[in-house]
């Protein structure tokens, strides 16, 4: 069955960096777009970024553009999110998700909490 397991979350100071990872299994990873989606405590969902299946085309929400970088390693069935210049408003649970490429995210990980605080 499809499994997505995030890691790398934690507490970081404003201005700091963090790298999230997502290990995928149960499907042909290289066939799918992948997305990162976040949810601030008590708030709604916010799409962060996606990466295409083979060409590696990427796109970002305006709120993270220039600070976050999404990448993937199809040989390792892994997705990453490099987060730099972190701000308090980046505090959220970050979900790794399988993406059909048409804004249809059909499998989600359990999420990893990122807290940005001094």
Task: Please report, as ranges, the residues that interact with another protein according to CB under 8 A.
Answer: 35, 37, 44-47, 50, 59-62, 95, 100, 102-106, 108-111
Instruction: Find out whether 3 and 59 touch, Cβ atoms under 8 Å.
Output: no
Give least dist CB 31 to another protein, A. 17
CA distance 102 to 86: 29
* Residue 20 host element (H or E): strand 18-25
Q: Three-class SS of residue 83?
A: strand
Least distance to another protein from the beta carbon of 16, Å? 26
Least separation in angstroms between residue 118's CB and another protein is 27
Nearer to another protein, 15 or 46 (CB): 46
């Amino acid at each position: 069955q499809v499994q997505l397991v995030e890691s790398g979350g934690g507490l970081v100071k404003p201005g700091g960096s963090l790298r999230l990872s997502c290990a995928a299994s149960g499907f042909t990873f290289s066939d799918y777009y992948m997305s990162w989606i976040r949810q601030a405590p008590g708030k709604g969902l916010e799409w962060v970024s996606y990466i295409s299946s083979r060409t590696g085309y990427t796109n970002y929400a305006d709120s993270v553009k220039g600070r976050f970088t999404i990448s993937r390693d199809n040989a390792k069935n892994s997705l990453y999110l490099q987060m730099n210049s972190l701000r308090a408003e980046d505090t959220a649970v970050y979900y790794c998700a399988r993406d059909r490429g048409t804004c249809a995210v059909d499998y989600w990980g359990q999420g990893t909490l990122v807290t940005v605080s001094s």
